Amino acid sequence: MKKALFWHRRDLRIADNAGLHKALTSAECVQPIFIFDTNILDALPKNDQRVLFIHQQISRLKSEYQQYGSDLHVFYGDPLVLIPEICQEQQIDAVFCNRDYEPYALQRDKQMHEALQQQKVVFLGAKDHVIFEKNEILKNDGTPYTVFTPYANKWRATLTDSHLTEYVVDKHFEKLSIQSVQRVMPSLEDMGFSSEQRVEFPSMSVDDEVIAHYAERRNFPSVTGTSRISIHLRFGTISIRALARQAMHQSATYLNELIWRDFYQMILFHFPHVVSSAFKPQYDRIPWEHNETHFQAWCEGRTGYPLVDAGMRELNATGFMHNRVRMVTASFLSKHLLLDWRLGEAYFAEKLLDFELASNNGGWQWAASTGCDASPYFRIFNPTSQQEKFDKQNTYIKKWIPEFGTPSYPTPIVDHASARLRAIERYKTALNP
């Protein structure tokens, strides 16, 4: 191949980039591109902080390419229109990218393959943002796992050093397209988005101490016990292989979280119906409540349950919520309030900086007991005992609820004991008609 494009998507880095390495070792000249996809952007609010984050990372990536005498060409529009046009104009032989397993991405890539095939342009993908993909971890009968523990056991048994080996890209930089004139990238304002940064974006480096003590600190929301790296994994500004190597040496518990991430990506790939339906179809029979007042109280952190409210206020203010608290807030919505888990899933999808379809869907279906390997429906988190166990001094609560302990703080919108019994009865009746 003489000329190729490398299309950055959810892999906003040069180092240890599988698809970029594949392009540089396959073609004589490689032009990196990124497209702000209008099919995705048009559905987002105009002050979406994730678009700002991506724009900042693309700007950084563009500067890095320029240091090597090349440049990242940045476009705004529909990839299915733009890429075939670029290929025709520049006489491109191949387009390389890293694979994505979400339904929109799979459909887009299928159409891209068909469009480029008509131009006799090769479209090639690589595995980059997971350790194992698609059919790499299957049961002995060739079917996908739907229970995490046996999947994780097979994952670990299959893992070799080669799966975590870095793709050394800098040996091949002479293949990057040389630029005499640098192209200007579209601004956020050009695309109709705000450039005001309202939240702090986490660092892309992970403190060794956080990983080393992850197992004993990760459940306490008032301490720095988690890596906060998920936004960087989501957009590929760091390598999953590098993080897995770090976890292999320092924390089996942290590695387990990375395996959960692979697991949910695999579930989404094999069972795309989970995007809009329960993984277990019988759970779609549950008659949910339709209480807008309760939903708004949950969204705004005014339920009268401090751990739930602190979590929702943290989410609204920062775009982040501690993982233990995510489980409690999700369980509260679907069990205590008996509201459709899809409402909460959509709210998280709008607010979370690290929103990733597979993990968000998997987590919500786990909490609502509708998913694969989910918490059984009769297991209902008690928000008060969770608070007493994981925020005993109310440090996290007081940070996010300044009126905690005063008459201004609302009384509980539901009673835990009766809400618990109602949920168990509702689920039982729906599942055993």
Question: What's the token pair of residue 219?
Answer: 């459940």
> Among this protein's residues, is 155 annotated catalytic?
no
> Among this protein's residues, is 361 annotated catalytic?
no
Task: Report the C-alpha gap between 367 and 339 in whole angstroms.
Answer: 12
Under 8 Å between Cβ of 54 and 231: no
Task: Report the C-alpha gap between 34 and 44 in whole angstroms.
Answer: 19
Q: How far is CA 203 from CA 230, 238, 380, 393, in A?
A: 10, 11, 34, 28
Each residue of 240-268: b (16+ CB within 10 Å) or e? bbebbbbbeebbeebbbbbbbbbbbbbbb
Task: Report the C-alpha gap between 115 and 46 in whole angstroms.
Answer: 31
Task: Report the C-alpha gap between 354 and 229 in whole angstroms.
Answer: 9
Task: Report the C-alpha gap between 381 and 375 in whole angstroms.
Answer: 10
Q: Which of 7, 155, 364, 366 is catalytic?
A: 364
Q: Which of 7, 155, 341, 400 is catalytic?
A: 341
> Among this protein's residues, is 260 annotated catalytic?
yes
CA angle 119, 122, 125 (to 5 degrees): 140
Question: What's the token pair of residue 172?
Answer: 């091949």
Phi/psi at 266 (5° precision): -65, -40
Q: Which of 98, 219, 257, 314 is catalytic?
A: 257
> Among this protein's residues, is 366 annotated catalytic?
no
Under 8 Å between Cβ of 77 and 35: yes
Task: Report the C-alpha gap between 160 and 358 in whole angstroms.
Answer: 25
Q: Which of 7, 155, 260, 298 is catalytic?
A: 260
Which amino acid is residue 273, in one-letter code? Answer: H
Q: How far is CA 222 from CA 24, 54, 326, in A?
A: 45, 28, 14
> Among this protein's residues, is 300 annotated catalytic?
no
Q: Which of 288, 291, 316, 394 is catalytic?
A: 288
Under 8 Å between Cβ of 32 and 73: yes
> Among this protein's residues, is 323 annotated catalytic?
yes
Active site residues: 257, 260, 288, 323, 341, 364
